[in-house]
Structure 1
Amino acid sequence: PMFMFIATDDTDGNCVDPNDGATHMPLRIADSIEALSDAAGGRAKEIDLLKCGDYNAEGRAMTGCFWAPELHVIDGKLSVLFMPCFDGPATNPDGTPNDRAGKPDMWTGSCHIMQLKQHSDGTDFDPCEPENWTVPKPILTPTGGVLNPIQRISLDMTVISDSGRWYYAWQQVGSIWIASFDPARPERLTCEPKQVVVPEFAWDNMIAEGPNAIVHDGTIYLIYSGSLVGIDYTTGLVTAPAGQDADLTDPNVWTKLDYPLQKSGVYNGQWQLGTGHGMWSNDEDGNLIYVFHNAEYENGRYGGRDAQVRRVHWSKEGMPILDMQAAEELNPDYADITMKIVVSGNEG
């Protein structure tokens, strides 16, 4: 199997321009999850799919951010959804001087898509070569407008597929929005965006972002991140019925959990702070895993985020458990038991 890992570089906590003009979108490819890690040399083998100054399909130079990239297969095509940002204009919408003029400005960012090219027989080009990917296109409304005309910025886009329908979910105006799209033309929505998740509790106040969904036992589990990046970051959940031809753009289809699935706390004897913006995936054996980030602090100073991978468990009530600790996974009394299995051949 081949495993891919893609993420935002936010060195020193700066995810707009973390390397002073050398912003990039790194991709790691390996034959195991372990081989993707820093310890196994994954960072040294990164490929930059995009770099500061590359142009989007509108001919605009992408100079910063490359926020929250996600890998998805859309109608058979490997795709990356992400948010680039551009140099800020001279003035703000209200006419005041823009302090990000001529510099990467996150408020210029919007959701984009790029896809891996395919040969005439439908096989993929080599994903390790940046030129084998299409030029990033901004994702627009059915009439060709920007997703967030109020602030322009839109980010954290993900894909949901159910009952033959395809949807995008993303964050804008501090909440989660959903719209349908045609996988044959993934850069254009087929309906106007609908707001389906808003922050309303103490643990998800200010913002709801970073959606990602799976289908499990007839239910769509959409996780999202609440509050702001830092020690207050949490993982929330909304659910909807799967396989019943429900319109996922209808807010009434979704049921929101009133407590977080994961938050800052002690995990396996060490503090784990600011857990959030996760993505469902699978390991080498097909087990469901949760890939997320937590905040890195040194002497009380925020220094960015580190990616983590964890096995997902399920409660008897059908709820995902994202933070089961080692002692809970296996009774320590049984930890040293070994087993020998002998398989005999068929005789006769």
Structure 2
Amino acid sequence: MTDFDMKDGQVTINPIVLQRADPCVLRHDGTYYFTGSHPRYDRIVLRRADRLEDLQSAPEVTIWQRHADGPQSQLIWAPEIHRVNGAWYVYYAAAPVDHGTVDAPSENETFNHRVFVLENTADDPFAGEWVERGQVDTGWESFALDATSFVTGGEQYLVWAQQDLTVRGHSNLYIARMEKPWVLATPAVELTRPEFDWETKGFWVNEGPSVLVRDGRVFLTYSGAATGIDYAMGLLTADAGADLLDPASWTKSPEPVFVSDPAAGQYGPGHNSFTETPDGDAVLVYHARTYTEITGDPLWDPNRHARAQVLPFDADGNPVWGTPVPDTRPTPTSTEVLPADGEF
């Protein structure tokens, strides 16, 4: 039995999880672990299943909740789960106050997030204790979010989005090698900043990085523009044996690689992660909406749903990104937040 039903090389059950934006899926020892932004932005949740198609109905467990006050009290965004050196880590962003606006941001107006880390040393992340390892010191205090981690060549790296107040826009992408999963070993190096038209629609952002290491190459995806129909995914590539802390090792695509598809009813695809089938085929996981007209503040519209599709590669080893696939299960359009395992 495969991890999910497939037809013509595509997943036949989508979305894989309703109302969970910024999806992160990790396959470990045959089990899929899922986390993503809860639409109330007040907790970090985790669920697991043997098949991607079963994640929607899997029990969801809250492993951490926001603080009553202080720097981790508001807008808990984009948790990612990683397995490093036999322990579990969740990277997430949190803010001290609900600061900023998403409707009409000024050129450099942002929220006030920083990147934080949880650690669990148990074999089972649902049974062990999640310990706060605190804020990641990225080298300066400014808007920071969307941290992801990857290991290659025996070294762990962190990639994240952060604002440099001397650079026009809201966030750039940075990379550093890690001393341990919550401490950087090297200064941050800028890899990309918003510069192309597609990256600067509404928001000037490069955010939501994710890394796939495959056949001697490193593929680093990210998202740009505001989170509506213009939200799209970009790509940086490097050789796995290159100095990944050297910006010259990376090549940036001038065009987005994954964009809205009105024919499929999918808008604003982005903030992706990568997982794999039991056979080792790459799977692209991302969120998207099914409509373009949003009532009120887009931040509080809960209907960015987690989706997945197999990512093929051509004969030269390049990803064939394709386009978002249509939904095969009903999705909500109201702003009501569904029960964790609810079906619409």
Give the TM bin, normalised by the shorter chain.
0.7 to 0.9
1:215 is aligned to 2:219:
no
Match of 2:116 among 98, 112, 133: 112
Q: 2:193, 2:125 → 1: CA distance?
A: 36
Which secondary structure does the structure 1 equivalent of 2:265 belong to? strand
Could you tell me how far 1:322 is from its partner in structure 2? 2.8
Aligned to 1:280: 274
Q: Whose RCO is larger (CA < 8 A, sep 6+)?
A: 2
Contact 1:236–1:262 (CA under 8 A) maintained in structure 2: yes
Contact 2:160–2:209 (CA under 8 A) maintained in structure 1: yes
Aligned to 2:312: 313
Map 1:53-202 → 2, pairs under 5 A: 53=67, 60=70, 62-87=72-97, 107-118=111-122, 124=123, 126-129=124-127, 132-141=129-138, 147-149=139-141, 152-173=142-163, 174-182=171-179, 185-202=180-197
Contact 2:266–2:325 (CA under 8 A) maintained in structure 1: no
Q: 2:135, 2:185 → 1: CA distance?
A: 15
1:225 is aligned to 2:223:
yes
Q: Once the two structures are superposed, what CA deviation does each residue of 1:113-154 show, in whole Å capped at 9, x if it has no partner? A: 111123xxxxx1x3224x61112411114xxxxx442xx221
Q: 1:200, 1:211 → 2: CA distance?
A: 16
Contact 1:179–1:194 (CA under 8 A) maintained in structure 2: yes
1:48 is aligned to 2:62:
yes
Q: Once the two structures are superposed, what CA deviation does each residue of 1:272-291 show, in whole Å capped at 9, x if it has no partner? A: 10011101111233321011
Which secondary structure does the structure 2 equivalent of 1:318 belong to? coil
Aligned to 2:245: 249
1:217 partner letter: D
Which secondary structure does the structure 1 equivalent of 2:131 belong to? coil
Aligned to 1:2: 31
1:219 partner letter: R
Contact 1:177–1:194 (CA under 8 A) maintained in structure 2: yes
Contact 1:241–1:253 (CA under 8 A) maintained in structure 2: yes
Contact 1:117–1:134 (CA under 8 A) maintained in structure 2: no
2:118 partner letter: M
Q: 2:95, 2:112 → 1: CA distance?
A: 5
Which secondary structure does the structure 1 equivalent of 2:195 belong to? coil
Q: 1:309 to 1:195 in 2, by over 3 A?
A: same
Highest Rg: 1 or 2? 1
Q: 1:237, 1:28 → 2: CA distance?
A: 29
- Count of aligned residue pairs for this structure pair: 273
Q: 1:75 to 1:117 in 2, by over 3 A?
A: closer
Aligned to 2:10: none
After superposing the two structures, state which structure 1 stretch, 247-256 or 79-88, moved more: 79-88
Tell me the TM-score normalized by structure 1.
0.72
Aligned to 1:30: 49
Could you tell me how far 1:28 is from its partner in structure 2? 1.0
Q: 1:52 to 1:324 in 2, by over 3 A?
A: closer
2:78 partner letter: A
Structure 1 unpaired stretches of 5+:
11-17, 93-105, 119-123, 142-146, 328-348
Which secondary structure does the structure 1 equivalent of 2:114 belong to? coil
Q: 1:8 to 1:216 in 2, by over 3 A?
A: same
Structure 2 unpaired stretches of 5+:
1-29, 101-109, 164-170, 327-344
Q: 2:317, 2:63 → 1: CA distance?
A: 38
Q: Once the two structures are superposed, what CA deviation does each residue of 1:286-319 show, in whole Å capped at 9, x if it has no partner? A: 3210110113537554533111111101123432
Could you tell me how far 1:158 is from its partner in structure 2? 0.8
Map 1:283-302 → 2, pairs under 5 A: 283-297=277-291, 300-301=294-295, 302=298
